């Protein structure tokens, strides 16, 4: 596996609480894990277990009540993290090129340089003809591709993805999963990928953290054995695919059922 | 889900129909024109048949003749009013945008500025106009102030709403990339607020002429509002109608100019109705 050694991201004894009505809800409790440099880690869990909260903590958008989150930086000017959301994460008033490039502005890259970087990446994913199009002229899948390119363009220490394909139809999702595999295998970024889809986690990640129902703690830390380079087809046709799926589902089943109020 | 998609398709079809020449659009231009022509014809015939005196209600043809005969006087008064409107509208836009940015910049600023903006709208303008007359005389200034007061409110309130209507995820996204307050403002908040600002500007454009006329009514030596009071006092009813018609035309023209500027200010909306790939 990716054994480049040093921990890129270290989450230590994290607890998150927030007020709800008169009481206090504990979203995450005693959460600890670390992710190595260049590791692709997926986080799955039942709805409401605090997956997105975890991502917001890593993104520095929220502070834990206890514990710490550290991203190891080698002192370069790279931003610590960059995020992709489920939908609407491209701006309608910017062209495809501007959308992909503006993230670099925060790093002080000059306009011609940031457009060069963005253009190169956009051409790689087949959006070369759409550089000057507005998002309203694109399909949902193309828009989400632009959002992913924007996140990669800033070359962050850690890339955070919060159900980036959650709003897409299945066929578009498969195509984008394949594309993400290609871009990731070319760049080797450290990624934390939150998803509700067990399939998707197994396809894209090297490692899957299974969270329990609230308060979220780590229920299992699973290595995904499928060899790289991958594609959706090679992973799905792997003989171990169904077995691993069932294993992860058995871990999630009870929590997922109670999250939707189903009888056990 | 299916219902929503269906409704959206209908809307899109209707809007492309309006934009595209030919087909539906010719009919949509002709129908209001026919209605207007019909109303004018009924007016003309009605006045002639009932032998209504011209000082009470002139016919459209009499009004048209009066407009042509008095064109140089009308043009002079129109220029006065137009100047008041344009200066007032520009100042209101500037003040409105600055106040909105102020309101959006902090809670304290919002609590300080917002009541003043509401107060500016709560004062009956017609009551304020005589005071302005006492302070600033018969010239341009009091009319411009009335126009500013009437236009400022929709601009400031709409833009302030727009600046606050930003998707919290968008701000989170920028913050996670290390954007400072000004970058958040420039990259997301201002672009988000522009459609709101334009609705405010459209409303302001439509009422701006009313402001100038009200200002002139109270005391002026020139302008369409002045012409209206004068011609009414002298029973020059055709000229009065002429002045009313021109001021309405001014308002419509300003409204249209603002509406058209949307294409230039919001270029990304121009293409929104073009076909989307699934």
The model's pLDDT over A138-159, given as tens digits with 9 standing for 90+, comes to 888 899 889 989 888 888 888 9
Asked whether residue B188 is assigned to any structural domain, the reply reads: yes
- The pair of structure tokens assigned to B45 is 């015939």
**B72-111 pLDDT tens trace:** 999 999 999 999 999 999 999 999 999 999 888 888 888 8
In contact, A213 and A8? CB cutoff 8 Å: no
Task: Write down the pLDDT at residue A167.
Answer: 84
Q: How far apart are CA B99 and CA B208, in angstroms?
A: 19
Q: How far apart are CA A199 and CA A236, in angstroms?
A: 9
**Quick check: B107 contacting A, CB < 8 Å?**
no
Please tell me whether residues A165 and A128 are part of one structural domain: no
Task: Write down the pLDDT at residue B15.
Answer: 43
Taking CA atoms, A175 is separated from A141, A145, A179, B31, B277, in Å, by 9, 10, 6, 50, 15
Please tell me whether residues A113 and A219 are part of one structural domain: no
Residue B275 has pLDDT above 50, yes or no: no
- Total domains in chain B come to 1
Please tell me whether residues A255 and A162 are part of one structural domain: yes
Task: Write down the pLDDT at residue A51.
Answer: 85
**B130-144 pLDDT tens trace:** 898 899 988 899 999
Asked whether residue B23 is assigned to any structural domain, the reply reads: no
Asked whether residue B52 is assigned to any structural domain, the reply reads: no
Please tell me whether residues A168 and A120 are part of one structural domain: no
Please tell me whether residues A140 and A18 are part of one structural domain: no
Task: Write down the pLDDT at residue B251.
Answer: 93
Classified as helix, coil or strand, A220 is: strand
**A84-141 pLDDT tens trace:** 877 767 899 999 999 999 888 888 888 899 999 999 989 988 888 999 999 988 888 8
Q: State the average pLDDT over residues A73-81.
A: 76
Q: State the average pLDDT over residues A41-70.
A: 87
Q: Which of A155, A173, A192 is the last residue of a domain?
A: A155
Sequence-distant (≥ 6) Cβ neighbours of residue A8 within 8 angstroms: A35, A36, A37, A38, A39, A71, A72, A157, A158, A190
ipTM (interface predicted TM): 0.72
Task: Write down the pLDDT at residue B271.
Answer: 53
Q: How far apart are CA A217 and CA B137, in angstroms?
A: 75
Q: Up-side HSE of residue A137: CA atoms within 13 Å toward CB?
A: 16
- Closest C-alpha among B205, B199, B195 to residue B254: B205
Please tell me whether residues A12 and A141 are part of one structural domain: no
Q: How far apart are CA B53 and CA A1, in angstroms?
A: 99
In contact, B121 and B204? CB cutoff 8 Å: no
Q: Which of A155, A171, A190 is the last residue of a domain?
A: A155
Asked whether residue A1 is assigned to any structural domain, the reply reads: no
Residue B270 has pLDDT above 80, yes or no: no
Task: Write down the pLDDT at residue B16.
Answer: 44
Contact A88 B167 (CB under 8 A): yes
Asked whether residue B176 is assigned to any structural domain, the reply reads: yes
Q: Which residues of A sit within 8 Å Cβ distance of B?
A: 56, 59-61, 79, 81-83, 85, 88-89, 91-94, 102-103, 105-107, 133-139, 142, 154, 160
Asked whether residue A2 is assigned to any structural domain, the reply reads: no
Classified as helix, coil or strand, B180 is: coil
Task: Write down the pLDDT at residue B256.
Answer: 92
Task: Write down the pLDDT at residue B4.
Answer: 39
Task: Write down the pLDDT at residue A192.
Answer: 94
What burial class does residue B26 get, using C-beta atoms within 10 Å of its C-beta: 0-12 exposed, 13-18 middle, 19+ buried?
exposed
Sequence-distant (≥ 6) Cβ neighbours of residue A176 within 8 angstroms: A141, A144, A145, A148, A164, A165, A168
Please tell me whether residues A185 and A251 are part of one structural domain: yes
Task: Write down the pLDDT at residue A263.
Answer: 57
Please tell me whether residues A98 and A75 are part of one structural domain: no
Asked whether residue A252 is assigned to any structural domain, the reply reads: yes
In contact, A14 and A68? CB cutoff 8 Å: yes
Asked whether residue B222 is assigned to any structural domain, the reply reads: yes
Sequence-distant (≥ 6) Cβ neighbours of residue B264 within 8 angstroms: none
Please tell me whether residues A148 and A168 are part of one structural domain: no
- The pair of structure tokens assigned to A22 is 């008169």
Name chain A contacts of B167, Cβ cutoff 8 Å: 88
CATH code at B83? 1.10.3720.10
Contact B277 A59 (CB under 8 A): no
Task: Write down the pLDDT at residue A262.
Answer: 64
Please tell me whether residues A137 and A22 are part of one structural domain: no
Please tell me whether residues A245 and A170 are part of one structural domain: yes
Q: State the average pLDDT over residues A246-264.
A: 81
- Total domains in chain A come to 2
Task: Write down the pLDDT at residue B192.
Answer: 92
- Closest C-alpha among A162, A149, A161 to residue A98: A149
Sequence-distant (≥ 6) Cβ neighbours of residue A83 within 8 angstroms: A55, A59, A151, A160, A161, A162, B172, B173, B176, B177
Which of B178, B272, B276 is opposite residue A79, by nearest beta carbon?
B178
Asked whether residue A95 is assigned to any structural domain, the reply reads: yes
Classified as helix, coil or strand, A10 is: strand
CATH code at A39? 3.40.50.300
What is the domain range of residue A106? 88-155
Asked whether residue A42 is assigned to any structural domain, the reply reads: yes
Q: How far apart are CA A26 and CA A18, in angstroms?
A: 7
Asked whether residue B34 is assigned to any structural domain, the reply reads: no
Residue A21 has pLDDT above 50, yes or no: yes
What burial class does residue A54 get, using C-beta atoms within 10 Å of its C-beta: 0-12 exposed, 13-18 middle, 19+ buried?
buried
Taking CA atoms, B157 is separated from B117, B188, B194, B197, B207, in Å, by 8, 18, 12, 9, 15
Asked whether residue A61 is assigned to any structural domain, the reply reads: yes
Residue A18's DSSP bridge partners are A25
- Closest C-alpha among A36, A58, A54 to residue A45: A54
Name chain B contacts of A85, Cβ cutoff 8 Å: 169, 173
Q: How far apart are CA B113 and CA B105, in angstroms?
A: 11
Lowest mean pLDDT among A73-82, A226-235, B14-23, B112-121: B14-23
What is the domain range of residue B78? 70-276
Asked whether residue A172 is assigned to any structural domain, the reply reads: yes
Name chain A contacts of B277, Cβ cutoff 8 Å: 138-139, 142
The model's pTM: 0.76
Task: Write down the pLDDT at residue A3.
Answer: 44
- In this prediction, residue B23 has a pLDDT band, given cuts at 50, 70 and 90, of low
Name chain A contacts of B183, Cβ cutoff 8 Å: 105-106
Name chain B contacts of A92, Cβ cutoff 8 Å: 268-269
Asked whether residue B16 is assigned to any structural domain, the reply reads: no
- Closest C-alpha among B89, B91, B113 to residue B210: B89
**Quick check: B191 contacting A, CB < 8 Å?**
yes
**A184-233 pLDDT tens trace:** 988 888 999 999 999 999 999 999 999 988 788 888 999 999 998 899 99
Please tell me whether residues A166 and A235 are part of one structural domain: yes
Asked whether residue A129 is assigned to any structural domain, the reply reads: yes
Asked whether residue B44 is assigned to any structural domain, the reply reads: no
Q: Which of A155, A184, A212 is the last residue of a domain?
A: A155
- In this prediction, residue B3 has a pLDDT band, given cuts at 50, 70 and 90, of very low
In contact, A204 and A193? CB cutoff 8 Å: yes
* Mean pLDDT value across chain A: 87
Residue B245 has pLDDT above 90, yes or no: yes
Positive or negative torsion for Cα A142, A148, A154, A155: negative
């Amino acid at each position: 596996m990716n054994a480049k050694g040093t921990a890129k991201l270290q989450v230590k004894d994290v607890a998150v609480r927030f007020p709800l009505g008169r009481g206090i809800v504990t979203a995450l409790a005693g959460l600890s894990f670390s992710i190595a440099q260049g590791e692709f880690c997926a986080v799955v869990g039942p709805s409401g277990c605090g997956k997105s909260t975890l991502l917001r903590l890593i993104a520095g958008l929220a502070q834990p009540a206890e514990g710490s989150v550290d991203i190891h930086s080698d002192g370069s000017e790279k931003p610590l993290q960059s995020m992709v959301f489920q939908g609407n994460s491209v701006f309608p008033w910017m062209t495809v090129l501007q959308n992909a490039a503006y993230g670099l502005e925060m790093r002080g890259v000059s306009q011609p340089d940031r457009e060069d970087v963005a253009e190169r990446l956009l051409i790689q994913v087949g959006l070369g003809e759409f550089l000057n199009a507005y998002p309203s002229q694109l399909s949902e899948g193309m828009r989400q591709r632009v959002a992913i390119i924007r996140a990669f363009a800033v070359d962050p220490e850690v890339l955070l993805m919060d159900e980036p394909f959650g709003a897409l139809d299945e066929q578009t999702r498969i195509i984008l999963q394949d594309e993400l595999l290609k871009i990731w295998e070319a760049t080797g970024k450290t990624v934390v990928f939150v998803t509700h889809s067990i399939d998707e986690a197994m396809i894209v990640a090297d490692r899957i953290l299974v969270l329990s129902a609230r308060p979220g703690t780590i229920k299992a830390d699973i290595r995904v054995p499928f060899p790289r380079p991958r594609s959706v087809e090679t992973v799905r046709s792997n003989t171990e695919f169904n077995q691993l799926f069932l294993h992860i589902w058995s871990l999630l089943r009870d929590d997922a059922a109670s999250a939707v109020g189903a009888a056990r | 889900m299916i219902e929503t998609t269906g409704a959206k398709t209908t809307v899109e079809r209707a809007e492309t129909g309006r934009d595209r020449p030919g087909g539906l659009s010719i009919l949509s231009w002709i129908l209001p024109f026919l209605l207007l022509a019909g109303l004018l014809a009924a007016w003309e015939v009605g006045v002639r048949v009932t032998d209504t005196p011209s000082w009470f209600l002139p016919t459209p043809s009499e009004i048209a003749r009066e407009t042509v005969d008095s064109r140089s006087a009308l043009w002079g008064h129109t220029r006065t009013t137009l100047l008041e409107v344009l200066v007032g509208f520009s100042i209101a836009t500037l003040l409105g945008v600055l106040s909105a940015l102020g309101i959006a910049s902090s809670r304290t600023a919002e609590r300080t500025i917002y009541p003043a903006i509401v107060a500016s709208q709560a004062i009956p303008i017609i009551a304020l106009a005589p005071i302005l007359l006492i302070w600033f005389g018969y010239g341009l200034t009091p009319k411009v102030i009335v126009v500013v007061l009437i236009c400022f409110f929709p601009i400031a309130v709409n833009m302030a709403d727009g600046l606050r209507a930003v998707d919290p995820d968008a701000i989170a996204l920028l913050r996670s990339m290390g954007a400072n307050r000004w970058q958040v403002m420039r990259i997301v908040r201002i672009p988000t607020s522009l459609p709101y600002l334009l609705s405010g500007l459209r409303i302001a454009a439509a009422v701006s002429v009313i402001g100038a006329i009200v200002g002139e009514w109270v005391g002026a030596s020139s302008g369409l509002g002045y012409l209206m009071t004068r011609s009414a006092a002298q029973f020059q009813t055709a000229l009065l109608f002429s002045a009313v018609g021109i001021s309405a035309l001014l308002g419509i023209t300003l409204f249209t100019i603002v509406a058209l500027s949307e294409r230039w200010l919001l270029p990304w909306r121009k293409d929104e109705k073009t076909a989307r790939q699934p």
